[in-house]
Structure 1
């Protein structure tokens, strides 16, 4: 693929020297260094306050479910009626973990899809 477009960036003298040192130590040109650093590296995710708050609240719910599951299992071992069905509680806990994982991965999946679209063009 022939590269024909130019991007101009402004660096301080110190930044330029640091970039040159990194490029030399990696065996790359400055252009290759900047392409590798910007186009192939995943950027930090932007997490909304709502997503962060939801994640934390789900974590609290998970702790409560875990405690309730332990109490139900302990009651069963003692021959008592459990406060809730342990199997259902474990299913809820598994579902909760899945929702938390998906909440965290939403932007990551979108980033990967964007990268695939970018490479195809």
Structure 2
């Protein structure tokens, strides 16, 4: 019997990237102390650790996009939404367990639904700034 020749699979490699050019030229930019302080503040607010890349991006891109820190309300709202999610998971798990053993899901799910609606409404009020979140922490 003749042996069948198998061709080895070709392995594809990502093309090599050329190294970044070395930045070997410097520019002296005279500024007042106030200007330097203001630019450093702007760079810091935009998330830059130093002034040089901030200035370079301003010149090359023309725009700098600032990522603002998440407001405290978002952190607290996240916690509230997590509590609601936990409640929904518990309800779903118990309903699935009841179905598996042949029990009715619930006599009246209205109370559970009303509780969830109440919690959702509370989160909505918090987002609008109409409710004190700390008063409802458990």
TM-score category of the 2 structures, normalised to the smaller one: 0.3 to 0.5
Of the two structures, which has the highest relative contact order with CA contacts closer than 8 Å and spacing of 6 or more?
1
TM-score, length-scaled by structure 2: 0.36
TM-score, length-scaled by structure 1: 0.40
